[in-house]
A and B are shown apart, each in its own frame.
Chain A
């Protein structure tokens, strides 16, 4: 009588159990390649400019032992070994030979895989049969006959001096004692008001959360940041459009899918996680449960930016560089402040900054939130942001209609164009639209597309200083006629990112759109 339904139920329950058991029967997953979780990112941003190939690199390093780098050719030149275990044949370079060639003297070494997993091995236990086998796809797999399976690390990329496994209370496996600590301890208060205390400077940094590219652009101003980044999250704006020009190694950094699991972050074995936000994230709390520190950066206001800058400099151990960067920003800010001080509030032009987008075929025009960087940019540049008039408290972009725009009667209109659109076309389209053409600002010719290079200059990422300067030259042209924006752009990328002028000219300048009106 009851069979049909209860059979289904049993089947479902069995299905759950079977899936669970089947997953449990899986072999431990092989150490992934350089991008372990890189399924195609869910949202990919089409680069606004034609992609430029990064400069080609030399022959890739296959293995790092202490400070020495070995290519595959180097390894093949050493004494080879072979072994047969459980019926499988392995061929590769003898492990003892590698250790000898690198001059390893410690009693214990750690075999480190590219995903951070490390296995401790006592050197005295290593036999002539132990080898690093050449795996398909160019990796190295440790084959250790007679030793525990835990030491059979697949995808070995590094060998370090390690502590004996019996030692307790270690920090995350990837940082082995035997490396000199980079420095520290460090204690600071981050943008979320949390006290971050680190015993030693982090070696492995992961950037996740909202708008990771903003934090990354800040991090990459420091050479240490570029070296120590071991993972990031892919969100809609693809930092791979810009950061490879700064440092080609960025392409090797593993990218997690959006909203990664805490465990997925932990799998990268980070010493520090950087997240953008001024509210403590739940993810940050969870990371705290497993003793992974989190640094929050705010980036939304000028003061926050300087605090974040100082914090990042502190955790990277390069406060000098942080000061230099701060000086760069301050000089521009001081100039802006001095010159706009002469302008009284009544004289400040009424400025409207809009975002124009046609997501999903719907044209939408929006104004930014009052606390956002866009508003700050306009104010600092000596303009009055007209959207402050409206009382609506919102958490983001607010859609406005033409009536409201007309009511505001701005002197100038700046349009931030959504990255899939061409700024020129958008501006032309707006000027041709009779409703827009009726606006005073458009009639006076004061409608501009907000400038951008690969990334827009309006966002709370470090480029805001460029946006501010540019705005100032347009809002108060007479006060800033000596400012050469081209020179500013050059200075920005060369001083802050250490990029070669030739590289800037070839890769960045073609993407700069500053004069669309």
Chain B
């Protein structure tokens, strides 16, 4: 037994192999997605168009490429953030939509548009700030609720905080200048990647890339952060500080993504679950797995959103549809109690 443990044990080896498979799938889907679209005809852009049609080339480079890369970034960020929230709050049932982060980010962005000038940087900062406030409010409120166990309390608190933020956003919509500010807000709330350009992607990456890198580097540490405080302390972990860092990274990245892509839900809830089931609960593998799986999921949904019909299907609708269906499937399995 002891000699075996010196190399990677079977589960870890298997999980690592699966990670490689996921990585290849992501790259493969990215390649295929370059040729999916509605130009010059529905669904498939033939290779010859690249050689002969300058508009096709420009379209692929300036519209499709940033868009599919954004889909990948969105998927990675939302899944990573969801995984982080689930581990830090020891609650397999949360994602940023349930914790007041998305609603807070929407409110912050609307506030920036209505009252603070609406420049891209301001929007991102306000989105991140209010997302963080939403998270804090959900956590504090969850500790004070007197009903149910911790899992339930946090979800309830998050829903309440999200609802508050939503009504705040509605008030802002109501007072917004109807001709100039309101369309911005509305677009924002609908979400979707339909007009992502390279500058948009760069702005998102500026925040999301370092945050995701940080989370990736801290992936083993996340296991520790999901322990109780006394255990974490006994292991020499400054739990409070490290949790704060990790949460900040998750919220900042989520806010950056939400500020460009609008509200996209369910990804952060479902993908970490599936990643854990398929790759083991150890965050060292489950986190990268969630990121890759999330990238696949959102990229596939976005491909459908922009290709299936001649009109755009909002991305949030697709992710919710598939995500909710998967969620129900997972919840109804007998093993739910045991295998989280």
Contact = CB atoms under 8 A, between A and B. Distances in A.
Contact of B195 (A13, A266, A282, A300): A282
Nearest to B279: A6
- Number of contact residues on A: which range applies? 35 or more
B59 A285 contact: no
Contact of B310 (A9, A39, A172, A300): A39
Contacts of A396: 178
B interface, how many residues as a size bin? 35 or more
A289 B194 contact: no
A37 B39 CA distance: 12
Contacts of A32: 41
Interface stretch (B43-51, B222-230, B239-247): B43-51
* Best-buried of B174, B307, B312 by chain A (most CB within 10 Å): B312
A259 B37 contact: no
Contacts, number: 168
Tell me the dominant secondary structure on chain A's binding face.
loop
B35 A291 contact: no
A267 B40 contact: yes
A262 B183 CA distance: 18
Interface in B131-175: 173-175
B332 to A, nearest CB: 11
A39 B43 CA distance: 15
A308 to B, nearest CB: 15
A263 B38 contact: yes
Contacts of A117: 40-41, 53
Interface in A30-45: 31-32, 36-37, 39, 42
Contacts of A126: none
Nearest to A26: B44
B321 interface: no
Given A263-B59, A286-B63, A257 B309 contact: yes
A470 B53 CA distance: 52
A286 B183 CA distance: 16
Given A266-B55, A267-B38, A286 B195 contact: yes
B63 A289 contact: yes
A426 to B, nearest CB: 27
Contacts of B64: 263
A3 to B, nearest CB: 11
Interface string A247-291: 000000000111111111011010000000111011101100111
A148 B32 CA distance: 24
A267 B41 contact: yes
Contact of B40 (A37, A116, A278, A283): A116
A282 B35 contact: no
B311 A259 contact: yes
A165 B51 CA distance: 10
Contacts of B175: 393
Interface string B19-51: 000000100110011011111111110101001
A17 B329 contact: no
B45 to A, nearest CB: 9
A279 B184 CA distance: 9
B25 A13 contact: yes
B125 to A, nearest CB: 21
A23 interface: yes
A24 B178 CA distance: 43
Nearest to A16: B300
A259 B312 contact: yes
Most buried by A among B63, B175, B184: B63
Nearest to A256: B310
Given A290-B55, A290-B62, A393 B178 contact: yes
Contacts of A359: none
Interface string A18-29: 011101101011
Nearest to B196: A286
A407 interface: no
A107 B33 CA distance: 38
A398 to B, nearest CB: 11
B330 A5 contact: yes
Interface in B76-96: none
A514 to B, nearest CB: 31
A254 to B, nearest CB: 10
A289 B39 contact: no
Contacts of B72: none
Given A5-B330, A262-B195, A371-B178, A16 B296 contact: yes
Interface of B: 25, 28-29, 32-33, 35-44, 46, 48, 51-55, 58-59, 62-64, 173-176, 178-180, 182-184, 187, 194-198, 274, 277-278, 296, 300, 303, 306-307, 309-312, 326, 329-330, 333, 335, 339
16 contacts: A5-B277, A9-B278, A23-B36, A37-B310, A39-B309, A39-B310, A116-B40, A258-B311, A261-B310, A261-B311, A262-B63, A262-B194, A266-B59, A286-B195, A286-B197, A393-B174
Interface of A: 2, 4-6, 8-9, 12-13, 16-17, 19-21, 23-24, 26, 28-29, 31-32, 36-37, 39, 42, 115-117, 119-120, 148-150, 165, 169-170, 172-173, 256-264, 266-267, 269, 277-279, 281-283, 285-286, 289-291, 300, 369, 371, 393-396
In the complex, the 4 A-B pairs of residues with the closest C-beta atoms, listed nearest first: A395-B178, A282-B195, A29-B41, A286-B195
